[in-house]
Amino acid sequence: MAYVNITALSFPPGAQAEIERRFGARKKAVDAAAGFQGFELLRPTVGEDRYFVVTRWDSQQDYQAWSSARPTGGHDDDKRRGMNVEILGFEVVDLDD
């Protein structure tokens, strides 16, 4: 079953350019991961002030394998600068069944 991971990023005022620069610098880093289907960075415009990082996978297991293998060293530094990360996961419902 397809799986979508959404990472919601809260950030201090003025950090938008930094967020977009960071993701732009590594936009192809996940492409070779097993089960990876796609990536989008969503900029807030109406009703929300967080950025959303949306990745689509063949399965939740594929996402978890990639997630557990990647370095996370910068997250503590992000928290000190006022950024917060919330992870959301969804199974894609196949309505054709």
The kind and range of the H/E element at 72 are none
> For residues 91 and 1, which has the higher predicted lDDT (pLDDT)?
91
> For residues 77 and 53, which has the higher predicted lDDT (pLDDT)?
53
Can you give the pLDDT at residue 72? 61
> For residues 37 and 12, which has the higher predicted lDDT (pLDDT)?
37
* Residue-by-residue DSSP string for 29-51: TTTTSTTEEEEEEEPP-SS--SE
- 9, HSE (Cβ side, Cα atoms, 13 Å): 22
Q: What is the pLDDT of residues 54-93, one digit of tens each?
A: 999 999 999 999 988 876 655 555 565 677 889 999 999 9
pTM for the model stands at: 0.82
Domains and CATH numbers, the chain: 3-91 (3.30.70.100)
> For residues 6 and 13, which has the higher predicted lDDT (pLDDT)?
6
